[in-house]
């Protein structure tokens, strides 16, 4: 089977590579010529563990190639769409999706299958997608097939999860779903679950919104613990000993491309009270970088140097999309000399270093923003020698408290009151 994957980003490229590794003949389509060139050379334009090796192999075997030209749709049997669906002003911008659908529609023949992996507002497959494909192709649904198989990949684990996580496949009819499922059943050991398009659309948004609500609750507890003189990390650990409780962790913010936007897509068509639940949780999470910046300001005099540890939006990855650190940097940069450290990040719109000692040298406060595993292993003795003032603010409960106290640091954690 020949498959076109439209959009060679964080979702599309790992998927195209994984499909090719299972023997499908895959052609990737992207509007970015530079990206296409790189892929054709077997070089990954995005950072994702294990992707470079796999990509190189499938490209060299001729199983994956890339192009900017949609005419290749005519040589394929199915297209999987993985283009961005950003949220602007609380509403999903579906213009990239619509344009991809139109370009595919113009070129697809009877019997063609279109699968949407992009995260979309409920009703988009039945509404916009079917309409645009019918208009552009002149075919009626039934003469072509249409399904929604939402991506569920966590950046940093994509090449594992593609082959392991159960795949939800929602069709407009069962026939649509079965056709799409026949592709994914060759990809994932986690199994393929067939459902309707509307259920697949809603469940994808529900997964990420559940996580966002849960983290917002943890953050609300952190703010309360600070006020009452409790320790939120201990409170959550205790509550989670209950067999039916699983409270997530608080922190200086919720970043990444998914949790920061998907809740808005789910909330948009809801009636007010339900919508408020989701929007309020988002607001709590969106306020956390401000709260963290306030904690910093309470610990250190204006004009001093502050070292922010972690620029990636979560631990163990080099991805800075919607990272809370970007916001915190912005909130502090006018009043402090701010140095940002990250062990993994290679490119960013703000100054940063991969060298920890240069970031903390002369600092009056070290503030940990990201839960990189590396921050559990810091040599605090060495750090103590180069800082101006020995003060640590731990936003993620990753710093070994006893260890830093031993070297004479003042230690404060987010979510812990005095
Ligand atoms: N975070 C917390 N506290 C926690 C867990 C996470 O503050 O207890 C923060 C992280 O630091 C990060 C943000 O939340 O800034 C988001 O990280 P994440 O680990 O929740 O997930 P993502 O955004 O990398 O990926 C999510 C995943 N969804 C779920 O786990 C339900 C992934 O499986 C989805 O495929 C992905 O969104 C997506 O593309 O939709």
CB of 120 sitting under 6 A from ligand 1 = no
The confidence band for 180, taking pLDDT boundaries of 50, 70 and 90, is very high
Catalytic residue of the set 38, 258, 261, 412: 258
CB of 256 sitting under 6 A from ligand 1 = yes
Cβ(145)–Cβ(114) below 8 Å: yes
Cβ(29)–Cβ(122) below 8 Å: no
258 assigned to active site = yes
**Can you give the pLDDT at residue 375?**
97
Distance in angstroms (rounded) separating the CA atoms of residues 120 and 331:
32
CB of 248 sitting under 6 A from ligand 1 = yes
Query: pLDDT tens digits, residue range 340-362?
Result: 999 999 999 999 999 999 999 99
- Identify the residue whose C-alpha is closest to ligand 1 atom 24: 154
The confidence band for 367, taking pLDDT boundaries of 50, 70 and 90, is very high
CB of 211 sitting under 6 A from ligand 1 = yes
What is the DSSP track for 407-418? TT-EEEETTB--
Q: Which domains, from first to last, does the chain contain?
A: 2-197 (3.40.50.720), 283-413 (3.40.50.720)
Distance in angstroms (rounded) separating the CA atoms of residues 356 and 351:
14
Atom number of ligand 1 nearest to Cα 319: 24
Query: pLDDT tens digits, residue range 2-43?
Result: 999 999 999 999 999 999 999 999 999 999 999 999 999 999
Q: What is the ipTM of this complex?
A: 0.97
Distance in angstroms (rounded) separating the CA atoms of residues 204 and 149:
9
Two tokens at 59?
């490209």
> Taking the CB of residue 301, how many other CB atoms lie within 10 A of it?
11
Distant-in-sequence, close-in-space partners of 354: CB < 8 Å, separation ≥ 6? 341, 342, 343, 344, 345
SS3 216: helix
Atom number of ligand 1 nearest to Cα 210: 31
346 assigned to active site = no
Cβ-based burial of 333 (10 A; exposed 0-12, middle 13-18, buried ≥19): middle
Query: pLDDT tens digits, residue range 214-249?
Result: 999 999 999 999 999 999 999 999 999 999 999 999
The confidence band for 47, taking pLDDT boundaries of 50, 70 and 90, is confident
Q: Tally helices (H) and strands (E) across the chain.
A: 15, 15
Query: pLDDT tens digits, residue range 142-171?
Result: 999 999 999 999 999 999 999 999 999 999
Helix (H) or strand (E) segment spanning residue 80: strand 78-81
Catalytic residue of the set 167, 204, 305, 412: 204
Residue with tokens 């631990």: 315
Cβ(131)–Cβ(99) below 8 Å: no
Please give the average per-residue pLDDT across 379-396, as a whole number. Answer: 98
Out of 204, 259, 287, give the residue to mutate to test ligand 1, the one with the largest number of ligand atoms within 8 Å of its CB.
259
């Amino acid at each position: 089977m020949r498959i076109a994957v439209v959009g060679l980003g964080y979702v599309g490229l790992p998927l195209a590579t994984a499909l090719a590794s299972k023997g499908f003949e895959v052609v990737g389509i992207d509007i970015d010529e530079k990206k296409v060139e790189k892929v054709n050379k077997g070089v990954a334009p995005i950072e994702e563990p294990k992707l470079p090796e796999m990509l190189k192999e499938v490209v060299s075997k001729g199983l994956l190639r890339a192009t900017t030209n949609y005419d290749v749709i005519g040589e394929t049997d199915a297209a999987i769409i993985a283009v961005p669906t950003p949220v602007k002003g609380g509403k999903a911008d579906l213009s990239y999706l619509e344009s991809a659908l139109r370009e595919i529609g113009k070129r697809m023949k009877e019997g063609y299958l279109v699968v949407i992996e992009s995260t979309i507002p409920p009703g988009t497959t039945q509404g916009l997608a079917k309409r645009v494909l019918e208009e552009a192709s002149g075919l009626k649904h039934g003469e072509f097939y249409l399904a929604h198989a939402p991506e569920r990949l966590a950046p940093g684990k994509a090449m594992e999860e593609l082959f392991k996580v159960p795949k939800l496949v929602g069709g407009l009819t069962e026939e649509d779903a079965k056709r799409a499922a026949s592709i994914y059943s060759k990809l994932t050991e986690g199994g393929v679950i067939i459902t309707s398009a509307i259920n697949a659309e809603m469940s994808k948004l529900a997964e990420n919104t559940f996580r966002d609500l849960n983290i917002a609750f943890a953050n609300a507890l952190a703010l309360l613990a600070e006020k009452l003189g409790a320790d939120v990390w201990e409170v959550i650990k205790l509550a989670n000993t209950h067999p039916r409780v699983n409270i997530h962790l608080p922190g200086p913010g919720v970043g990444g491309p998914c949790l920061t936007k998907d809740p808005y897509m789910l909330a948009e068509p809801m009636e007010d009270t339900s919508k408020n639940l989701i929007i309020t949780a988002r607001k709590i999470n969106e306020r956390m970088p401000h709260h963290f910046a306030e904690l910093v300001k309470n610990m250190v005099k204006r004009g001093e140097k502050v070292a922010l540890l972690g620029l990636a939006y979560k631990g163990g990855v080099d991805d800075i999309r919607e990272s809370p650190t970007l916001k915190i940097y912005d909130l502090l940069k006018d009043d402090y000399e701010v140095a940002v450290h990250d062990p993994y990040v290679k490119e960013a719109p703000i100054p940063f270093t991969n060298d920890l000692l240069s970031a903390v040298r002369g600092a009056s406060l070290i503030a940990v923003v990201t839960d990189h595993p590396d921050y559990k292993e810091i040599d605090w003795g060495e750090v103590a020698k180069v800082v101006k003032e020995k003060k640590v603010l731990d936003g993620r409960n990753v710093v070994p408290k006893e260890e830093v106290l031993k070297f004479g640091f003042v230690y404060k954690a987010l979510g812990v009151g005095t």
